[in-house]
A and B are shown apart, each in its own frame.
Chain A
Amino acid sequence: MSAGQPPFDSPEIRRLTPVIGPGHTYGSVTDKISAIVLTRPTSLGWYVGFLIAFSIMGMMTVAIGWLIIKGTGIWGINIPIGWGFAIVNFVWWIGIGHAGTLISAILFLLNQKWRTSINRFAEAMTLFAVACAGIFPLIHTGRPWLAFYMFPYPSTMGLWPQFRSPLIWDVFAVSTYGTVSLMFWFVGLIPDLATLRDRSVRKPLKIIYGMLSLGWRGSARHWHRYQSAYLLLAGLATPLVLSVHTVVSFDFAIAIVPGWHTTIFPPYFVAGAIYSGFAMVLTIAIPLRKAYDLEDFITMRHLDNMAKVMLSTGLIVAYGYFFEFFLSLYSGNKFDVFLVQQRLHGPYAPFYFALILCNILLPQLLWSYKMRHNVAALFLMSIVVNIGMWLERFVIVVISLTRDFVPSAWGRYSPTFWDWATFIGTIGMFVTLLFLFVRVLPAISIAEMRELVAETSEEEK
């Protein structure tokens, strides 16, 4: 399928839209991808973007510094709304952090070829998102310097964490998730690090990449074990991904607060996580393929598939909303019923409707083929979904707390400057890490691309 192939949009050819551009050999793949890191000069755009992101991250460090000096009182939280932006952002980031491992693991198990070119940076994105998420549970405590109490260590008082608390489940789930994702990512990187080692001309680079590649030499024996280990990791990561957001949803589902205490949460939190995760992958992939003209590796097929995944998970989420709504009314529990009414016409109703718009209504546009193949539109859509998912967490966390059991204790919440500074700051941190990643590591798995080349060439025969 090299020359004279029909244009993409001719219907009969659609499903054949390739996952890799035409005419690539092992060498060309290797060159093109490793070049981004090794030979290609760092563009001015990279420097500018990096500086902006880095300064935003600086704002975060200032906000956190002030927080540690003054206390959580600098935020908008109060009694009864004990959790505000910190937890909203935590859940949001964790959700985003789901796409990477999901793409790598589940799609790998399902043997989805098209995953190959996006899994690497998707995984990286996962790690960075988890890093951002991890900040919040730590700093949202009143005494962050004592947060280590939440880890099981032999204290002089012989005290241990309280394992009935969903927050402790969080600690284990998130740290496990972080660790496994990191290993998964690194294991995938080893052969490519070897490639970089072999292709880099400058001595220091050679040494650094050499160290990182652990002396990988592509021995068949190694590949043999490597593959089974990778497969197992994928197999382990899959239930892990599902469990993490389930556990996060327990933070709410286990509590008795109206609007939190519901069994529908785990599935629809997971769906929501994948939803936002894919949205974020798109948000990153689209500029990335443009900036480093990787259109051959991240083809329309990828974008199209991710859009479809978004659409489907979006529908699951919609179903979740509906059922949450229905169940509260059906249960006849006066507190739940009241809360539903509050969502619809309480003080925070606009947020709820904005959420419906961003997460349910607008994404329906993805049914259209044109929409899915309009890169700019997809990009905007991914942003919309990201916003929508953030609103969902805001609605869940805040509205329920403002209207719980005893009316005398009802209150309201509004974020302060420091809430915003911390939130936007983490976005800065996220982008900063991404910039570094694309600069020093292959954003696409070279080894797997070679495999792909091999297979596609076989197909051609």
Chain B
Amino acid sequence: MGEFGTPEELLQAVKKVREGGYRRLDAYAPFPIEGLSEALGLKRNLVPAITLLGGLAGGIGGFCFQYWAAAITYPLNIAGRPLNSWPAFIPVTFELTILGASLAAVFGMLALNRLPHPHHPVFNVGRFTHASSDRFFICIEAKDPNFHLEKCARLLQEVHAHHITEVSDD
């Protein structure tokens, strides 16, 4: 794992490391950095799709539920309005759409990120606490097919990492 001082350095490093043929690597930053995702070659994520599904479920389910409650399971003459007073059902339908979508977005994001995940190997690195304030890290995982400790260390030196540490897995 290598530590850097600025986003620019980090971006450089990431590019280099990928050129070095490593694929299973991750970068850590205290705030989102433009271009980092592309540099890491991340695919487009699933969060929007999940959100859409959530929204549809909420909306359609919401309206159907109201229709069922008002017209099918317990039909009542309310103020002489038809059992299916659909215009009156719109607001709740809308709110449920939003609710469904939002829940899907948040929990979808957390799930895809495998969060909560209170312990992770990188936390074993003392300096990693700076990842949440003013330092930027890059981490090449041992699972990478062509992973080799020395090679990686050298590579990281080439990209001028301030510190290089080995992340132990326990």
Contacts and interface: CB of A to CB of B under 8 A. Distances in A.
Contact of A220 (B37, B47, B128): B37
B28 interface: yes
A237 B98 CA distance: 8
Q: How many residues of B sit at the interface, in one of the four size bands?
A: 35 or more
B28 A173 contact: no
A176 interface: yes
Nearest to B131: A218
Given A164-B81, A164-B88, A198-B132, A220 B28 contact: yes
Query: Which among A210, A220, A221 has the highest number of chain B CB atoms within 10 Å?
Result: A220
A166 B132 CA distance: 46
Given A176-B96, A180-B102, A218-B132, A226 B32 contact: yes
B109 interface: yes
Contacts of B42: 220-221, 224
Nearest to A447: B31
A159 B95 contact: no
Chain B interface helix/strand/loop/mixed: helix
Q: How many residues of A sit at the interface, in one of the four size bands?
A: 35 or more
A161 B65 CA distance: 11
A25 B102 CA distance: 34
A158 B47 contact: no
A373 interface: no
A318 B94 CA distance: 29
B98 A236 contact: yes
Contact of B95 (A173, A197, A210): A173
Interface string A329-372: 00000000000000000000000000000000000000000000
Nearest to B130: A198
Given A215-B118, A224-B42, A236-B102, A160 B29 contact: no
B103 to A, nearest CB: 8
Given A27-B134, A215-B120, A247-B91, A164 B32 contact: no
A383 interface: no
Contacts of A161: 69
A247 B89 CA distance: 12
B95 A191 contact: no
B4 to A, nearest CB: 12
A296 interface: no
B30 to A, nearest CB: 5
Given A27-B133, A223-B29, A236-B98, A169 B92 contact: yes
Contact of B30 (A26, A215, A240): A26
A187 B103 CA distance: 12
Given A169-B91, A232-B105, A451-B31, A219 B26 contact: yes
Interface string A182-199: 011001000100110111
Query: Which among B40, B108, B115 has the highest number of chain A CB atoms within 10 Å?
Result: B115
Nearest to B117: A215
B96 A191 contact: no
A199 B73 contact: no
Contacts of A243: 91, 94-95, 98
Given A215-B118, A218-B132, A180 B113 contact: no
Query: Which among A179, A183, A216, A448 has the highest number of chain B CB atoms within 10 Å?
Result: A216
Closest 5 CB pairs of A and B: A229-B109, A214-B116, A160-B69, A198-B129, A26-B134
29 contacts: A26-B30, A27-B134, A160-B73, A162-B70, A163-B69, A164-B79, A173-B91, A176-B98, A179-B102, A180-B98, A180-B99, A183-B106, A184-B102, A187-B109, A211-B116, A215-B120, A217-B28, A217-B122, A217-B123, A217-B131, A219-B113, A221-B113, A223-B31, A224-B45, A227-B32, A228-B45, A243-B91, A446-B133, A454-B33
